Amino acid sequence: MKSAVVTGGASGIGLAVAQRLRADGMHVATLDLNPTDDEFAFTADVTDRGQVDEALGAIRAKLGPVAVLVNAAGLESFKRFSEIEFDRWQRVIDVNLNGVFHCVQAVLPDMIEAGWGRIVNISSSSTHSGQPFMSAYVAAKSAVNGLTKSLALEYGPHGITVNAVPPGFIDTPMLRKSEERGYLAVQQSIESTPVRRIGRPEDIAAACAFLVSEEAGYITGQILGVNGGRNT
Ligand code: NAP
Protein backbone atom coordinates (compact mmCIF):
# COMPACT_ATOMS: atom_id res chain seq x y z
CA MET A 1 0.00 0.00 0.00
CA LYS A 2 1.35 3.40 -0.94
CA SER A 3 1.33 6.37 1.42
CA ALA A 4 -0.01 9.74 0.38
CA VAL A 5 0.01 13.20 1.91
CA VAL A 6 -2.73 15.69 1.07
CA THR A 7 -2.28 19.30 2.20
CA GLY A 8 -5.42 21.29 2.94
CA GLY A 9 -6.96 17.88 3.63
CA ALA A 10 -9.37 19.06 6.33
CA SER A 11 -11.75 20.82 3.96
CA GLY A 12 -13.21 21.01 0.48
CA ILE A 13 -11.06 19.67 -2.34
CA GLY A 14 -8.25 18.35 -0.12
CA LEU A 15 -10.75 16.43 2.02
CA ALA A 16 -12.36 14.87 -1.08
CA VAL A 17 -8.93 13.92 -2.46
CA ALA A 18 -7.96 12.29 0.85
CA GLN A 19 -11.23 10.32 0.96
CA ARG A 20 -10.88 9.20 -2.65
CA LEU A 21 -7.26 8.06 -2.28
CA ARG A 22 -8.25 6.11 0.84
CA ALA A 23 -11.10 4.49 -1.08
CA ASP A 24 -8.55 3.59 -3.77
CA GLY A 25 -6.49 1.72 -1.16
CA MET A 26 -3.80 4.20 -0.11
CA HIS A 27 -2.68 5.17 3.37
CA VAL A 28 -3.47 8.89 3.48
CA ALA A 29 -2.28 11.53 5.91
CA THR A 30 -3.56 15.08 5.75
CA LEU A 31 -1.80 18.32 6.63
CA ASP A 32 -3.88 21.33 7.58
CA LEU A 33 -3.89 24.37 9.82
CA ASN A 34 -6.38 23.13 12.39
CA PRO A 35 -6.39 19.82 14.25
CA THR A 36 -9.23 17.30 13.77
CA ASP A 37 -10.10 14.00 15.45
CA ASP A 38 -8.81 11.93 12.53
CA GLU A 39 -5.72 9.99 13.64
CA PHE A 40 -4.16 10.53 10.20
CA ALA A 41 -4.71 14.31 10.27
CA PHE A 42 -1.56 16.26 11.04
CA THR A 43 -1.40 19.94 11.89
CA ALA A 44 1.04 22.20 10.09
CA ASP A 45 1.13 25.55 8.38
CA VAL A 46 2.57 24.73 4.96
CA THR A 47 4.45 28.04 4.95
CA ASP A 48 6.48 26.97 7.97
CA ARG A 49 9.21 24.50 6.98
CA GLY A 50 9.84 23.47 10.57
CA GLN A 51 6.18 22.50 11.03
CA VAL A 52 6.08 20.70 7.66
CA ASP A 53 9.23 18.69 8.44
CA GLU A 54 7.96 17.80 11.91
CA ALA A 55 4.61 16.62 10.56
CA LEU A 56 6.31 14.62 7.81
CA GLY A 57 8.55 12.96 10.38
CA ALA A 58 5.44 11.87 12.29
CA ILE A 59 3.73 10.72 9.08
CA ARG A 60 6.75 8.64 8.02
CA ALA A 61 6.89 7.05 11.47
CA LYS A 62 3.25 6.03 11.12
CA LEU A 63 2.84 5.30 7.40
CA GLY A 64 6.35 4.88 6.00
CA PRO A 65 7.88 6.83 3.10
CA VAL A 66 5.65 9.19 1.15
CA ALA A 67 4.93 8.11 -2.44
CA VAL A 68 2.18 10.60 -3.33
CA LEU A 69 1.75 14.30 -2.55
CA VAL A 70 -1.31 16.37 -3.43
CA ASN A 71 -0.89 20.07 -2.63
CA ALA A 72 -4.40 21.46 -2.03
CA ALA A 73 -3.83 23.96 0.81
CA GLY A 74 -4.72 27.39 -0.49
CA LEU A 75 -5.71 30.91 0.45
CA GLU A 76 -7.87 33.23 -1.64
CA SER A 77 -7.70 36.99 -1.47
CA PHE A 78 -9.77 39.72 -3.10
CA LYS A 79 -8.60 43.32 -3.36
CA ARG A 80 -7.92 45.95 -5.98
CA PHE A 81 -4.21 45.62 -6.84
CA SER A 82 -3.34 49.19 -5.83
CA GLU A 83 -4.80 48.57 -2.36
CA ILE A 84 -3.10 45.29 -1.50
CA GLU A 85 -0.83 45.66 1.54
CA PHE A 86 2.52 43.98 0.91
CA ASP A 87 2.06 41.72 3.97
CA ARG A 88 -1.16 40.37 2.48
CA TRP A 89 0.51 39.89 -0.93
CA GLN A 90 3.31 37.96 0.75
CA ARG A 91 0.94 35.75 2.75
CA VAL A 92 -1.02 34.79 -0.38
CA ILE A 93 2.21 33.96 -2.23
CA ASP A 94 3.50 32.17 0.84
CA VAL A 95 0.52 29.83 1.26
CA ASN A 96 -0.23 29.14 -2.41
CA LEU A 97 3.32 28.99 -3.80
CA ASN A 98 5.91 28.69 -1.04
CA GLY A 99 3.77 26.07 0.70
CA VAL A 100 4.14 23.92 -2.43
CA PHE A 101 7.91 24.54 -2.39
CA HIS A 102 8.22 23.35 1.22
CA CYS A 103 6.00 20.28 0.86
CA VAL A 104 7.55 19.11 -2.42
CA GLN A 105 11.10 19.56 -1.07
CA ALA A 106 10.14 17.70 2.09
CA VAL A 107 8.79 14.59 0.30
CA LEU A 108 11.19 14.38 -2.66
CA PRO A 109 13.90 12.37 -0.82
CA ASP A 110 11.37 9.53 -0.20
CA MET A 111 10.32 9.51 -3.85
CA ILE A 112 13.88 9.65 -5.21
CA GLU A 113 14.91 6.82 -2.90
CA ALA A 114 11.94 4.73 -4.12
CA GLY A 115 12.47 5.68 -7.78
CA TRP A 116 8.72 6.38 -7.91
CA GLY A 117 6.53 9.30 -6.96
CA ARG A 118 3.44 11.27 -7.88
CA ILE A 119 2.89 14.96 -7.18
CA VAL A 120 -0.29 16.87 -8.04
CA ASN A 121 -0.53 20.61 -7.42
CA ILE A 122 -3.99 22.16 -7.22
CA SER A 123 -3.65 25.52 -8.99
CA SER A 124 -6.64 27.45 -10.37
CA SER A 125 -8.51 28.02 -13.62
CA SER A 126 -8.08 31.75 -12.92
CA THR A 127 -4.54 31.31 -14.28
CA HIS A 128 -5.92 30.87 -17.81
CA SER A 129 -7.09 34.43 -18.27
CA GLY A 130 -6.46 36.26 -14.99
CA GLN A 131 -9.09 37.45 -12.55
CA PRO A 132 -9.77 41.00 -11.39
CA PHE A 133 -9.12 41.69 -7.69
CA MET A 134 -7.26 38.37 -7.36
CA SER A 135 -3.83 39.37 -8.65
CA ALA A 136 -1.81 37.92 -5.76
CA TYR A 137 -3.70 34.63 -5.90
CA VAL A 138 -3.49 34.36 -9.69
CA ALA A 139 0.23 35.25 -9.62
CA ALA A 140 0.89 32.53 -7.05
CA LYS A 141 -1.20 29.89 -8.83
CA SER A 142 0.38 30.74 -12.20
CA ALA A 143 3.78 30.23 -10.60
CA VAL A 144 2.58 26.85 -9.33
CA ASN A 145 1.77 25.84 -12.92
CA GLY A 146 5.29 26.89 -14.01
CA LEU A 147 6.88 25.13 -11.06
CA THR A 148 4.93 21.99 -11.96
CA LYS A 149 6.35 21.93 -15.50
CA SER A 150 9.93 22.51 -14.33
CA LEU A 151 9.74 19.84 -11.63
CA ALA A 152 8.34 17.37 -14.16
CA LEU A 153 11.47 17.86 -16.31
CA GLU A 154 13.84 17.66 -13.35
CA TYR A 155 12.37 14.60 -11.66
CA GLY A 156 11.00 12.58 -14.58
CA PRO A 157 14.29 10.64 -14.70
CA HIS A 158 13.69 9.62 -11.07
CA GLY A 159 10.30 8.05 -11.84
CA ILE A 160 8.41 10.99 -10.37
CA THR A 161 5.54 12.65 -12.24
CA VAL A 162 4.42 16.20 -11.43
CA ASN A 163 1.13 17.58 -12.74
CA ALA A 164 -1.24 20.41 -11.89
CA VAL A 165 -5.02 20.43 -11.70
CA PRO A 166 -6.52 23.92 -12.01
CA PRO A 167 -10.12 23.68 -10.79
CA GLY A 168 -12.96 25.81 -12.08
CA PHE A 169 -15.77 26.74 -9.65
CA ILE A 170 -15.93 23.99 -7.05
CA ASP A 171 -18.50 23.92 -4.27
CA THR A 172 -16.32 24.19 -1.16
CA PRO A 173 -16.23 26.37 1.97
CA MET A 174 -13.71 28.64 0.19
CA LEU A 175 -16.08 29.22 -2.73
CA ARG A 176 -19.12 29.77 -0.50
CA LYS A 177 -17.17 32.30 1.59
CA SER A 178 -16.33 34.24 -1.59
CA GLU A 179 -20.01 34.16 -2.53
CA GLU A 180 -21.10 35.40 0.90
CA ARG A 181 -18.64 38.29 0.65
CA GLY A 182 -20.11 39.23 -2.73
CA TYR A 183 -17.07 38.33 -4.86
CA LEU A 184 -18.77 35.55 -6.77
CA ALA A 185 -22.23 34.91 -8.21
CA VAL A 186 -22.61 31.13 -8.20
CA GLN A 187 -25.80 31.01 -10.28
CA GLN A 188 -24.22 33.24 -12.95
CA SER A 189 -21.13 31.03 -12.97
CA ILE A 190 -23.28 27.95 -13.53
CA GLU A 191 -25.05 29.61 -16.47
CA SER A 192 -21.72 30.40 -18.13
CA THR A 193 -20.31 26.92 -17.54
CA PRO A 194 -20.79 24.61 -20.56
CA VAL A 195 -21.81 21.58 -18.45
CA ARG A 196 -24.26 23.82 -16.52
CA ARG A 197 -23.40 22.89 -12.99
CA ILE A 198 -20.99 23.86 -10.28
CA GLY A 199 -18.04 21.52 -9.79
CA ARG A 200 -17.91 19.12 -6.87
CA PRO A 201 -14.79 18.42 -4.81
CA GLU A 202 -15.15 14.81 -6.03
CA ASP A 203 -14.61 16.01 -9.63
CA ILE A 204 -11.14 17.21 -8.65
CA ALA A 205 -10.51 14.12 -6.54
CA ALA A 206 -11.23 11.88 -9.54
CA ALA A 207 -8.64 13.70 -11.66
CA CYS A 208 -6.09 13.47 -8.85
CA ALA A 209 -6.82 9.78 -8.33
CA PHE A 210 -5.99 9.13 -11.99
CA LEU A 211 -2.86 11.30 -12.02
CA VAL A 212 -1.39 9.54 -8.97
CA SER A 213 -2.16 6.07 -10.31
CA GLU A 214 0.39 3.67 -11.76
CA GLU A 215 -1.24 3.89 -15.18
CA ALA A 216 -0.72 7.67 -15.38
CA GLY A 217 3.06 7.20 -15.38
CA TYR A 218 3.49 8.64 -18.90
CA ILE A 219 1.67 11.88 -18.00
CA THR A 220 3.84 14.59 -16.48
CA GLY A 221 4.23 18.36 -16.64
CA GLN A 222 0.57 18.68 -17.63
CA ILE A 223 -2.01 21.22 -16.51
CA LEU A 224 -5.29 19.28 -16.48
CA GLY A 225 -8.21 21.70 -16.28
CA VAL A 226 -11.27 20.37 -14.43
CA ASN A 227 -13.70 23.20 -14.98
CA GLY A 228 -16.89 22.04 -16.71
CA GLY A 229 -15.59 23.46 -19.96
CA ARG A 230 -15.00 27.04 -18.85
CA ASN A 231 -11.52 28.39 -18.79
CA THR A 232 -11.82 31.39 -16.50
P1 NAP B 1 -11.00 25.21 1.46
O2 NAP B 1 -12.27 24.48 1.64
O3 NAP B 1 -10.83 26.54 2.12
O4 NAP B 1 -9.79 24.26 1.85
C5 NAP B 1 -8.47 24.73 1.90
C6 NAP B 1 -7.82 24.15 3.13
O7 NAP B 1 -6.45 24.61 3.16
C8 NAP B 1 -8.49 24.63 4.43
O9 NAP B 1 -8.67 23.56 5.32
C10 NAP B 1 -7.47 25.63 4.95
O11 NAP B 1 -7.49 25.76 6.36
C12 NAP B 1 -6.17 24.98 4.48
N13 NAP B 1 -5.07 25.92 4.55
C14 NAP B 1 -5.07 27.24 4.26
N15 NAP B 1 -3.89 27.79 4.50
C16 NAP B 1 -3.09 26.78 4.96
C17 NAP B 1 -1.75 26.72 5.41
N18 NAP B 1 -0.99 27.81 5.45
N19 NAP B 1 -1.26 25.52 5.82
C20 NAP B 1 -2.04 24.43 5.82
N21 NAP B 1 -3.31 24.43 5.42
C22 NAP B 1 -3.85 25.59 5.00
O23 NAP B 1 -10.76 25.51 -0.07
P24 NAP B 1 -10.92 24.60 -1.39
O25 NAP B 1 -11.87 25.31 -2.25
O26 NAP B 1 -11.10 23.17 -1.06
O27 NAP B 1 -9.48 24.83 -2.02
C28 NAP B 1 -8.52 23.79 -2.20
C29 NAP B 1 -7.52 24.26 -3.25
O30 NAP B 1 -8.20 24.43 -4.50
C31 NAP B 1 -6.88 25.59 -2.90
O32 NAP B 1 -5.53 25.56 -3.27
C33 NAP B 1 -7.65 26.57 -3.78
O34 NAP B 1 -6.89 27.71 -4.06
C35 NAP B 1 -7.91 25.72 -5.00
N36 NAP B 1 -9.02 26.16 -5.84
C37 NAP B 1 -10.31 26.10 -5.39
C38 NAP B 1 -11.34 26.51 -6.24
C39 NAP B 1 -12.78 26.44 -5.81
O40 NAP B 1 -13.63 26.85 -6.60
N41 NAP B 1 -13.12 25.95 -4.64
C42 NAP B 1 -11.06 26.99 -7.51
C43 NAP B 1 -9.74 27.06 -7.93
C44 NAP B 1 -8.72 26.64 -7.08
P45 NAP B 1 -8.40 26.96 7.01
O46 NAP B 1 -9.80 26.70 6.54
O47 NAP B 1 -8.20 26.79 8.46
O48 NAP B 1 -7.84 28.24 6.45
**Among 107, 111, 112, 140, which Cα is nearest to 124's?**
140
Fold type of domain 3-169+200-216: Rossmann fold (3.40.50)
- The domain limits of the chain are 3-169+200-216
Q: Whose CA is nearest to atom 11 of ligand 1?
A: 33
How many whole angstroms separate alpha carbon 29 and alpha carbon 22? Answer: 10
Handedness of CA 173, 60, 141, 193 (dihedral sign): negative
pLDDT tens for the chain, 232 residues long, are 999 999 999 999 999 999 999 999 999 999 999 988 899 999 999 999 999 999 999 999 999 999 999 999 999 999 999 999 999 999 999 999 999 999 999 999 999 999 999 999 999 999 999 999 999 999 999 999 999 999 999 999 999 999 999 999 999 999 999 999 999 999 999 999 999 999 999 999 999 999 999 999 999 999 999 999 987 6
Which of 38, 174, 193 best tests ligand 1's pocket when mutated (most atoms within 8 Å of CB)? 174
